[in-house]
Copies of this chain bind each other. A is one copy, B any other.
Amino acid sequence: MSILVVGSVAFDSIKTPFGEVDDVLGGSACYFSTSASFFTDVSLVAVIGDDFPQEHIDFLSSREIDLAGLQRSAGKTFRWKGRYDYDLNEAHTLETHLNVFETFKPEIPAAYRDAEYVFLANIDPELQLDVLSQVKNPKLVACDTMNFWISGKREKLIRTLEDVDILVINEAEVRQLAEEPNLVKAAEIVRGFGPRILVVKRGEYGVLMFGEGSIFSAPAYPLDEVFDPTGAGDTFAGGFIGYLAATRNLDEHNLRKAIVFGTVMASFTVEKFSLERLKEIDYNDISDRYKKIKLLTDFADLD
């Protein structure tokens, strides 16, 4: 089953303790759709400038991502420049140039309007709500957001969340959105805004999923080389929603498997810059790592 994703396609310039790259392919919708494409079909809605090279279009097409919703506008593609120190959990933004993204107004092609699975990547909550007004009757709506919208467009964001089934955000953002320091309490408050499932991303500490009367904890896969965490969260979401859409099953059991597939995908992304590592792997690599996470977490029932 096809997923519709709306978000950013960007050029990233990144410096980590392990290396430095300029103007590599990035953006939430790129990471999400590439990751999800290992599980199901994806339709991407985003905007690029006239400087966006055919090479990247070819790559996304090679992943069988439907690009009919990829608008090309006059001007430059969105650019982000950031730096990470040894604490790879924290990105330091050096420059943000919205460029063509500044006036981006998502137009959902007619063919996508009956999408059953929708992922609203981290964009203005008003645009997220506008996207939802253009789709007919999705089975599942998931979204991401960030501190910038939580503080700057709180009311609009909370309105959007009313129509969202799954919210996928960072730990500090859950606390900020709920205005509550305890994570378990904060999760209940945020679920009260609308999403019946809250997925809390904790970087190298993994993920907590809060549902109705249940919590699931998944660790991150411990890596001896974390090269660049950029895109890990969107890659996680791509694997998570991708698996759900592929299996068309939203029960707790399957949601948990989906969380682990998301974790697996994110663990590959951080091993190299940009989407380089995702370009190398296949489904065998994914299932191998899924099994390793199972071994990492297994312990015996109480006798």
Contact = CB atoms under 8 A, between A and B. Distances in A.
Report, nearest first, the 10 A-B pairs whose CB atoms are least far apart.
Answer: A217-B219, A256-B299, A184-B224, A205-B205, A86-B181, A184-B222, A217-B296, A290-B302, A185-B224, A297-B297
A139 interface: no
Given A182-B225, A219-B219, A222-B184, A257 B291 contact: no
What is the copy number of this chain in the assembly? 2
Contact of A218 (B224, B295, B299): B299
Interface string A102-145: 00000000000000000000000000000000000000000000
Given A215-B296, A253-B299, A260-B299, 8 more contacts: A17-B181, A182-B224, A182-B225, A184-B222, A202-B205, A216-B299, A291-B302, A297-B297
Interface in A243-290: 253, 256-257, 259-260, 287, 290
A297 to B, nearest CB: 5
Interface in A39-59: none
B294 A301 contact: yes
Interface size grouping (class) on chain A: 35 or more
A212 interface: no
10 contacts: A86-B181, A183-B222, A184-B224, A206-B217, A215-B296, A216-B296, A217-B219, A218-B297, A219-B219, A291-B301
Interface string A143-181: 000000000000000000000000000000000000001
